[in-house]
């Protein structure tokens, strides 16, 4: 079975070809370079960029895979969550291809794709596992059985996503956009125990009621207050220590709650995905703590953590392999697609 995967939920145009669970090609174009001067993504610019890069990216992916369009058995495309204009360009292109080739179309959930891409690298998933998806828009813990049919969101962030919090604190520390990778780099030069920042929803009633939820906006405020306090007194801000302490607070909570879910459900595998899973401290801490508890952690290489076509093709392959009914050509996009939903109907 040969699957074409198309990803356009945000600023990356990603196109990939997966054949029988093997990745043949994965090509990505991005409009991210345009946003540094705005300090954030401009949706209209991203939509137009997808329109410009769609066909060249498709041609490059097919050529790299050594596959003709006529050999494609099914088309998978991100139907949500994401930016409405960006999603619309990808879904429209996928509909046109499905119609022209007379092949089934699957509108898939981008967040489930962030987990599913790991199969292409680390092999088939176990019978069940806990998924931690951490990205620019999401920080959620999921219980996953068969990834084509059985996904349940156990909890998620009540306010900011992990990547979003990093980007906001990056701005606060005067780092370029997106701040995530910059804070990651800076935090390696700092002392992670120098400043203790709050860990949201980990104590008292919240710990019980919000077992699998996160809250990072209080942390963000605490960092802002700390930095402003020093500036008001005319003292120098120890940026590396702030970055390290802030990063530690987020990664401490993420890894603790995800591994607790593994233990509660009796699952021996944690799969981590999404742009924020590129974070070096998250990888380190997850590996360290999982080893202590006898849990296996699977995190794909960094190029498959950020948005790409391979994640879409991988989930598309699972859907076809499991005999799931296609979405059909009538689908629209869903900017806030529910994480319990794998395929768009
Ligand atoms: P979603 O997947 O929820 O729709 P998205 O697709 O916009 O959101 P991704 O592209 O998966 O998000 O991830 C981008 C986010 O990852 C940004 O917030 C970025 O700062 C963050 N990020 C990337 N690399 C790192 C890193 N090394 N450390 C921390 N954050 C990082
Ligand atoms: Fe993403
Ligand atoms: Mg992105």
Which ipTM score applies to this complex?
0.97
Is 140 annotated as belonging to a binding site? no
Q: Name the pairing type of β-strands 139-144 and 269-273.
A: unpaired
Say if CB 278 and CB 292 are below 8 A apart: no
CB distance 180 to ligand 1 below 6 Å: yes
Is 253 annotated as belonging to a binding site? no
Report the pLDDT value the prediction gives residue 264, as an integer from 0 to 100. 98
Ligand nearest to the CA of 167: 1
CB distance 184 to ligand 1 below 6 Å: yes
Total length of the chain:
345
Report the pLDDT value the prediction gives residue 37, as an integer from 0 to 100. 87
CB distance 181 to ligand 1 below 6 Å: yes
Mean pLDDT split into 10-residue runs, the chain, 345 residues: 98 98 97 90 97 98 98 98 98 98 98 98 98 97 98 98 97 94 98 98 96 97 98 97 98 98 98 98 98 98 97 98 98 98 98
CB distance 278 to ligand 1 below 6 Å: yes
Which mutation among 109, 135, 250, 303 tests ligand 1's pocket best, with the greatest number of atoms within 8 A of CB? 135
Nearest-atom number in ligand 1 for the CA of 12 is 10
Ligand 1 centroid – CA 328 distance (Å): 30
Nearest-atom number in ligand 1 for the CA of 82 is 4
> Nearest residue CA, atom 5 of ligand 1?
136
Is 277 annotated as belonging to a binding site? no
Task: Kindly list the protein residues that place their beta carbon closer than 5 angstroms to ligand 2, a single-atom ion.
Answer: 135, 307
Ligand 3 centroid – CA 217 distance (Å): 21
Say if CB 276 and CB 162 are below 8 A apart: yes
Q: At what angle do helices 162-172 and 217-232 cross, to 10 degrees?
A: 10
What's the whole-model pTM score?
A: 0.97
Report the pLDDT value the prediction gives residue 39, as an integer from 0 to 100. 87
CB distance 46 to ligand 1 below 6 Å: no
CB distance 14 to ligand 1 below 6 Å: no
Ligand 3 centroid – CA 11 distance (Å): 5
Ligand 1 centroid – CA 138 distance (Å): 9
Ligand nearest to the CA of 247: 1
């Amino acid at each position: 079975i040969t699957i074409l995967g198309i990803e356009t939920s945000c600023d990356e145009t990603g196109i990939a070809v997966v054949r029988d669970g093997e990745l043949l090609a994965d090509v990505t174009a991005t409009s991210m370079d345009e946003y540094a001067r705005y300090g954030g993504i401009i949706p209209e610019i991203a939509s137009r960029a997808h329109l410009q890069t769609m066909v060249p990216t498709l041609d490059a992916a097919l050529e790299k895979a050594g596959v003709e369009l006529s050999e494609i058995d099914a088309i998978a495309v991100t139907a949500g969550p994401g930016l409405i204009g960006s999603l619309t360009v990808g879904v429209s292109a996928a509909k046109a291809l499905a119609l022209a080739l007379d092949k089934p179309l699957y509108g898939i959930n981008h967040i489930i794709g962030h987990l599913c891409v790991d199969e292409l690298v680390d092999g088939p998933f176990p019978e069940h596992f806990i998924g931690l998806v951490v990205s620019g828009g999401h920080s959620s813990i999921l219980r996953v059985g068969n990834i084509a049919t059985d996904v349940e969101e156990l909890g998620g962030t009540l306010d900011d996503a992990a990547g979003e919090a990093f980007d906001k604190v990056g701005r606060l520390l005067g780092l370029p956009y997106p701040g995530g990778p910059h804070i990651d780099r800076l935090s390696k030069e700092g002392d992670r125990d120098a400043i203790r920042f709050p860990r949201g929803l980990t104590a008292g009633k919240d710990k019980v009621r919000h077992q699998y939820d996160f809250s990072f906006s209080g942390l963000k405020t605490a960092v802002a207050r700390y930095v402003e306090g020093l500036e008001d007194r005319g003292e120098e801000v120890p940026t590396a220590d702030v970055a390290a302490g802030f990063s530690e607070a987020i990664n401490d909570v993420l890894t603790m709650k995800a591994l607790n879910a593994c233990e509660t459900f009796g699952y021996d595998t944690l799969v981590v995905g999404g742009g924020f899973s590129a974070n070096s401290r998250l990888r380190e801490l997850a590996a360290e703590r999982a080893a202590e508890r006898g849990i296996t952690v699977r995190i794909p290489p960094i190029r498959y953590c950020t948005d790409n076509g391979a994640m879409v093709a991988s989930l598309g392959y699972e859907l076809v392999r499991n005999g799931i009914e296609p979405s059909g050509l009538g689908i629209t996009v869903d900017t806030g697609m529910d994480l319990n939903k794998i395929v768009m109907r």
